[in-house]
A and B are shown apart, each in its own frame.
Chain A
Amino acid sequence: MQGHLSLLLVVIPLIAAPVAAILPRGRLSWALALVVAAICAILAGVQLWAVVHDGVISYELGGWAPPWGIEYRIDAVNAIVAMIVAGIAAITLPYALLSAEKEIPEHQLPLFYSAFLLCFAGLLGITQTGDIFNLFVFLEISSLSSYALISLGQKRQALTSAYQYLIMGTLGATFFLIGVGLIYSQTGTLNMMDLALRLPEVSGLKTVHTGFAFIMIGFALKLALFPLHLWLPNAYTYAPTVITVFLAATATKVALYVILRVLFTVFPHDFVSATPTGDLFLLSGMTGVISASIYAIYQVDVKRLLAYSSVAQIGYMALGIGFASSLGVTATIIHLFNHALMKGALFMAVGTIIYRIGSCHMDNIQGLGRQMPWTFGAIVIGGLSLIGVPGTAGFISKWYLVLAALEQQAWIVVAVILIGSLLAVVYIGKVIEVLYFRPAKETHLAVKEAPMLLLAPTWVLVIANIYFGLNTELTVGIAQRAAQVLGVTSG
């Protein structure tokens, strides 16, 4: 029964997607998507619980035994990522009703929700599958639907940024495909666990090294790891708000999961540590944290500012991978979870301002913090979490990351983390200053607080930020367990 759970998580949204497309009205499709997301969130929760208590779930598709058939293999690592994806979708969809109706023409809404469900199914599929080619297929399902979703943004730049993302994303996916092919040519298998068994025998071959490099670069592109992040700021800025929330909180997390999986499960440890992978992750993480944070400070569009901040946050996660220690990977997984919460909350809060005035340019939003106190509160708390103030989720991830850096005596990395946090104070401070301390524009004096339906999901995430900042048992416990599953040895 538990095995079926893992398949249902992918199949339900996949089947619901075409149904959503043929429903006659936007609200019907929305209701269907909401029900599907809620069911998936519950299933993902049950799955996480089952994995934590009973251990690994393995499901053979069509009864074909692995490594010949496709296997869905769920352990603590993908269970938590699937939970994030499904949970964020279930929180985003109530928000989507009003926000999407405002930003997307009514006749496109059924197709919009259909593409959303496809993207959702693809992301869940990536987390569930234990077959590396199956992973490529799900990657393309989620990517293609997200290009379409981004292009639905109101401004015409949405089209060019979707196009840019399509080119970069396809290059990344094709790189991944080359890598898989090269590795398949040496091992004759596509099952991840089987690959882990067979790769040590052939790990000296140049072909395997080349394949490894292609896979890493391909997914670094999808992850938007600095300096391969160029598609991200545009895509997040011009996409419909709901999609920005959803992609910022899930798509990059899933790409990061794949990198963790490939680095620690599929390839043998001595192979990875013999390559400069760890140093490269540290280097791009550090430059990413600093330069993306500085870029963020100079942005005048709040959505774009947060997008650059996302690139910086991805840098933090890369640092944890770079250490390749148990503490480092724990920190990465904690930050993966917490960043989904804080960026989800922040993008939602900014989205409520867009809902009211149709823009989030610094010149337009000034003074609105006093007129929209709940939205403003969400931005303040989300921002504090982003900075890493004690009592918020962001503090926990930074704490573990600094611990991991201290364990390796990497003083430069500690300094970078602290400087990154200070830069976050500057750019979040800038948003708060504009929102609260400047006089409102005369045309915006009548702007009222956003409707309940938008505020409620935002505040669910805001409260989650505080809750997971105070009660770390769940996140840290699962992250440690995940690091254990990945077999990372300390030191």
Chain B
Amino acid sequence: MDFIIGHYNYWIAIFLMMIGFYTVISRGNLVKKIIGLNIFQVSVFLLYISMSTVKGGAAPIITAGVKLYSNPLPHVLILTAIVVGVATTALGLALVVRIKEAYGTIEEDEIHQQDHSL
């Protein structure tokens, strides 16, 4: 029981990861796929950030009298990853707009029907 409660941050990350992954795979709507991808990425961000916490550690800002700090490096890494995620979302949505213009729909099966391919 302690194992389950003690690792709650991982359970949340895994839960979100699976929701995102399942959405990407199962949804035919291209925008919903992007939303799924976003949830998937955010779960990884949470995983990183929650891992960086040190029990009893203060926020990583140098303060007089504090000995133990949380690890700031994962925060910085995830800042980069967030930027990447925003860029991916923007590009993905831009592609969806273009697809809508070209096909008149953003449903995957209708697009395939129009192309008769894949």
Q: Which of B30, B37, B80, B91 contacts A137 (CB 8 A)?
A: B80
Q: Which residues of A have CB within 8 Å of B30?
A: 163
Contact partner of A148 (CB less than 8 A), chosen from B48, B91, B96, B115, is B91
- Measured CB to CB, the nearest residue on chain B to A169 is B88
State the interface size on chain A (CB cutoff 8 A).
Answer: 26
DSSP majority for the A interface?
helix
* Residue of B with least CB distance to A214: B44
Docked CA distance A157–B98 (Å): 11
Q: Within the complex, which residue of B24, B48, B88, B99 is in contact with A181, where a contact is CB–CB below 8 Å?
A: B48
Given A181-B44, A181-B51: A160 touches B37 (CB 8 Å cut-off): no
User: Is B118 within 8 A of A163, CB to CB?
Assistant: no
| B-side interface mostly | helix
Q: Mark B21-41, 1 if CB is under 8 A from A, else 0.
A: 100100000100100010011
Q: Are A166 and B115 in contact (CB under 8 A)?
A: no
Do A167 and B44 touch (CB < 8 A)?
Answer: no
Q: Is the CB of A147 within 8 A of B115?
A: no
A residues 131-168 with Cβ under 8 Å of B?
A: 133, 136-137, 140, 144, 147-148, 151, 156-157, 159-160, 162-163, 166-167
Cβ–Cβ < 8 Å partners of B48 in chain A: 181
* A157-B24 contact in complex given A140-B84, A163-B99, A181-B74, C-beta closer than 8 Å: no
* Complex contacts, A185 vs chain B, CB 8 Å: 51
Please give the distance in Å from B94's CB to the nearest CB on chain A: 9
| Distance between B73 CB and nearest chain A CB, rounded to angstroms | 8
Besides the known contacts A166-B92, A178-B47, A184-B74, 10 further A-B residue pairs in the complex with CB atoms under 8 A apart:
A136-B81, A156-B103, A159-B95, A163-B96, A166-B95, A167-B37, A173-B84, A174-B40, A178-B44, A181-B47
Chain A positions within 8 Å of B, measured between CB atoms, are 133, 136-137, 140, 144, 147-148, 151, 156-157, 159-160, 162-163, 166-167, 170-171, 173-174, 177-178, 181, 184-185, 234
Contact residues of B with A, CB < 8 Å?
21, 24, 30, 33, 37, 40-41, 44, 47-48, 51, 74, 77, 80-81, 84, 87-88, 91-92, 95-96, 98-99, 102-103, 111, 115, 117-118
